[in-house]
Amino acid sequence: MSRRFVPIAVMALCLAVPLFAQTDPGVRGGGAAAGAALSSVVANNPATILNFFNDGKARFQEIDSVSGTVAGENGVGLGPRYNSRGCALCHAQPAVGGSSPFTNPQVADATADGARNAVQSFITQSGPVREVRFPFFFDQFGNPDTSRPNGGVEDLYVIVGRVDAGTCTSLTLPSFSQAQATGNIIFRIPTPTFGSGLIENIDDATLLANQSAQSSNSFGIAGAFNHNGNDGTISRFGWKAQNKSLTIFAGEAYNVEQGVSNELFPQERPLPGEDMTTGLPSSCRINATPEDHTNFNTTATGTLGDSAAFAMFMRLLAPPTPNATTPGGSTSINNGRNLFNAIGCNVCHTVSLTTSRSSITPSLGSATATLYSDLEVHHMGSLADNVSQGGAGGDQFRTAPLWGLGQRIFFLHDGRTSNLITAINAHNSNGSEANGPSYNFFVNLTVSQQQDVLNFLRSL
Amino acid sequence: MQRLIALLLFAATASFAQDVMPPDFKPDPATLKKLPEGVLIVKGAEASASDAKTPLPEGGRIADGTYGNDYFGLSFKLPGQLREVFKGPPPSDSGVYVLTELVPPERSQGGDRATIFVTAQDQFFALTPQRSAAEAIKLKTETLPEYYKAERPPYEMKLAGRAFARLDYTAPVAGIHWIVLATEIRCHNVEFVLTGRDPKVLDALVASLGAMKVGGSAPACVADYADANTLYRKDPEFAEHKFNPIPVRIVIDTKGRVKHVHVISAFPEQARRITDALFEWRFKPYVVNGEPAEVETGLMFGAPPRTRATKVAKASD
């Protein structure tokens, strides 16, 4: 064999022999293990509650248009700026109420019904659904002004050009390219909402007791709580645990992501800072406000405004069902569960918490929520996004609940990876509270043990 | 006049700076400035101090292969190949510090791999009572989850001539071992947490820590000194209530005045108002053997303390 071919032959051999290392099994197939109602809701206990779940789900799946006059798009109030046109377009994986799906709906959202928006480079067909924030306002030179934090959502699209845009023929969008050029841009992906009624019904005292119980850990982990600014109680929804209740979460998202003003957020939303300059133009304030509100001429489920209906749907969603055997088999999954605890992941990803008594439906009351989160905010080092929300600083994030992780596609707050190993690796950096457990994973576990942990996580 | 008009126009433009950059904005490449990558600018509650000279628990540094912490009077040579690759998180609102995280420089697997995390829990702000290192180890032992197993009952050992409470435990399912060595310094439970697969490697690391130095002078530390000894108190006025616990350590001089303030976790405005207020407080001087002495104590603002630290006054180490 000539010298020229030897290196090629060696290379071919290396490629042919698989590397013996842990691998992320990938998104678990076999049908959606989430999306159903809580068992007592399925049993219609109390009577008619199942109607509220179904009605809420139907509205969650509605596509919004500006005035509700486009066929098949019965929702009212889209825009004038928006990120997507319906809750279930983004909260879709593996079922309605979930997280970012395989096909990003924001590509189609850009030009739906005649809209003339450009699709930004960070929005791709197979990438995650993303909302954009600029950590800082810009100065007059177009550079980020670090003395003026921003952090609000910058909508991707405007209704201009849509068949129902009416008088709204011109509306500015921020310069995403400028934000990218100056590194002044961060992303967030949709959080899954399965089991969120259980999260909502965990008493503050339970969370505080868990925090105390975990405080003698040997990893230097010490999280904090985000607090609702009105009454000081613990808030728990959103990437930084900034929202107190599902109703607030729903109302805010309806206004910020779809542009629908509602009883919780009654005004049309300008871009961050826009009110200080030109303000939202009157030509794009098309509907009376709030666009979503209690319906006075109907009864039962129809009375609720959309925001309240969304919240009730999410509240009544059952948590995801873990799989006892897939991937890897039950022995691997059980071993992985024990290893997950042993290396300290469960200090932040607390396995379960108990809910309070529920006035809504029995399944929410005194229930074990196996959510794998302490609902605290922790310092996460280089995962920082320089956005502060409530008491959570730019490097602090709520411990992401891991239930349902097995069927999620994108990980971390910005969906930067679909690989679980990469996500775990991202826990290890300067200033991170997770260095101990993540270091244990990569160094103190054998490859086989690491695979067991991955299999366990993908079984959730 | 024209210059004045130009100045006023500039000021007006600057004050309503480019909050909304139009999509067709064309920046001048010559003035384009990118945000530094990996730099945390927007912080939440953080630690601060009234002066830059007084040593702080989080002020430890590694230089020439030695970890040194002037606040605790602690120094030790980095054992073996261990290095500080990443720094730990900032101090928590329950007084937890990660002083240093020592790991092998290469993140590969091997039986001789081990890590040492050095942490400190401020006794005044612990979420569960930990009035001594022995009590902290006892608590850790009693609350060990079922997937851990103590390899022997906790015991006291001497290291570098100093008493340490020691707990050895293992996670049988993982084959990982821990040795926790806890000692009390300035009313903090300082823990050396050694982790690895080979107990012999861990024991060797323990032995190498025997050369550590702990010493230096420090004020006496007394829990809840303010409770019965405050002569004048001015409450800080907060513009906004953020509901976060704000643990603070102060050093009181021989005349009963606040000499130094260390706000362990607070938003900048909170830290400023608390520090300004505390410098107006007056205390009964702390007396040792009939002589006034400096004393260090803790105060919690923003939220009630979760536990009471109450303990007997200690002389400085």
Between CA B125 and CA B299 the distance in angstroms is 9
Residue B108 — very low, low, confident or very high, per pLDDT cuts 50/70/90? low
Q: What is the per-residue pLDDT for B21? A: 60
pLDDT above 70 (res B137): yes
For A224, the closest of B33, B37, B244 (CB atoms) is B244
B70 SS3 class: coil
Q: Position A399: which residue type?
A: T
Q: How confident is the model at residue B1 (pLDDT cuts 50, 70, 90)?
A: low
CB contact (8 A) between residue B128 and residue A215: yes
pLDDT at B307: 64
Q: What pairing do the DSSP bridges indicate for beta strands A353-354 and B295-301?
A: unpaired
B150 in contact with A, Cβ within 8 Å:
no
Q: What is the pLDDT along chain A (460 residues), one digit of tens a residue?
A: 344 434 444 443 333 333 448 899 999 999 999 999 999 999 999 999 999 999 999 999 999 999 999 999 999 999 999 999 999 999 999 999 999 999 999 999 999 999 999 999 999 999 999 999 999 999 988 999 999 999 999 999 999 999 999 999 999 999 999 999 999 999 999 999 999 999 999 999 999 999 999 999 999 999 999 999 999 999 999 999 999 999 999 999 999 999 999 999 999 999 888 887 788 999 999 999 999 998 877 777 788 999 999 999 999 999 999 999 999 999 999 999 999 999 999 999 999 999 999 999 999 999 999 999 999 999 999 999 999 999 999 999 999 999 999 999 999 999 999 999 999 999 999 999 999 999 999 989 999 999 999 999 999 9
A281 close contact with B: CB closer than 8 A:
no
A146 contacts on B by Cβ (under 8 Å): 35, 41
B311 pLDDT exceeds 60? Answer: no
- Is the CB of A387 inside 8 Å of chain B's CB atoms? yes
What is the distance between the alpha carbons of residues B178 and A59, in angstroms, rounded to a whole number?
A: 53
CA distances from residue A22 to A258, A344, A420, A448, B176 in whole angstroms, order as listed: 41, 19, 11, 7, 19
Determine the distance in angstroms separating the CA of A350 from the nearest CA of chain B, rounded to an integer. 13
Burial profile B20-36: b = 16 or more Cβ within 10 angstroms, e = fewer = bbeeeeebeeeeeeebe
Q: Are A338 and A60 in contact (CB under 8 A)?
A: no
d(CA B317, CA B302): 31
pLDDT of residue B29: 75
**pLDDT band, very low/low/confident/very high, at B316 (cuts 50, 70, 90):** very low
Contact status, residue A100 vs residue A410, Cβ threshold 8 Å: yes
- In 3D space, the residue among B264, B299, B293 whose CA is nearest the CA of residue B313 turns out to be B293
Environment class of A421 (CB within 10 Å of its CB; exposed 0-12, middle 13-18, buried 19+): middle
Phi then psi for residue A181, to 5 deg, are -65, -30
Give the largest Cα separation in chain B, rounded.
Answer: 85
Looking at domain A196-241+319-459, its CATH class is mainly alpha
pLDDT band at B2 (very low <50, low <70, confident <90, very high): low
Q: φ and ψ at B16, to 5 degrees?
A: -105, 55
Q: What average pLDDT does the segment B299-315 reach? A: 64
Closest Cβ opposite residue A175 in set B21, B42, B175: B21
Please list the residues that pair with B185 across neighbouring strands: B188
pLDDT at residue B16 is higher than 50: no
A&B contacts, CB < 8 Å: 249
Amino acid A195 reads G
Chain B contact present for A392, CB below 8 A: yes
- Taking an 8 Å cut-off on Cβ atoms, the answer to whether A271 and B42 are in contact is no
Tell which phi-psi region holds residue B249, choosing left (phi > 0), alpha (psi between -120 and 50) or beta.
Answer: beta
Q: What is the C-alpha to C-alpha distance for residues A219 and A348, in angstroms, rounded to an integer?
A: 11
Domains of chain B: 46-214 (3.40.1000.10), 220-301 (3.30.2420.10)
Tell me the C-alpha to C-alpha distance, in Å, between residue A29 and each of A33, A100, A405, B249: 9, 16, 12, 54
In the stretch 213-232 of chain B, residues with CB closer than 8 A to chain A read: none
pTM attached to this predicted model: 0.92
Using the predicted structure, report yes or no on whether residue B17 has a pLDDT greater than 70. Answer: no
Q: Of B135, B186, B189, which Cα lies nearest the Cα of B298?
A: B186
Query: What are the boundaries of each domain within chain A?
Result: 39-191+246-315, 196-241+319-459
Q: What are phi and psi of A82, to 5 degrees?
A: -160, 165
Q: How far apart are CA A378 and CA A349, in angstroms?
A: 11
User: Quick one: DSSP state of residue A443?
Assistant: I
Cβ separation of A218 and B191 shorter than 8 Å?
A: yes
- Per-residue pLDDT, B111: 58
Mean pLDDT along residues B209-227: 95
pLDDT of amino acid B95: 97
The residues in A 225-264 lying below 8 A from B, measured between CB atoms, are 227, 229, 232
Nearest C-alpha in B relative to A392: B44
How many C-beta atoms lie closer than 10 Å to residue A189's C-beta? 23
Mutant choice from A233, A427, A435, A451 vs B, greatest count of B C-beta within 10 A: A435
B3 — pLDDT class (breaks 50, 70, 90): low
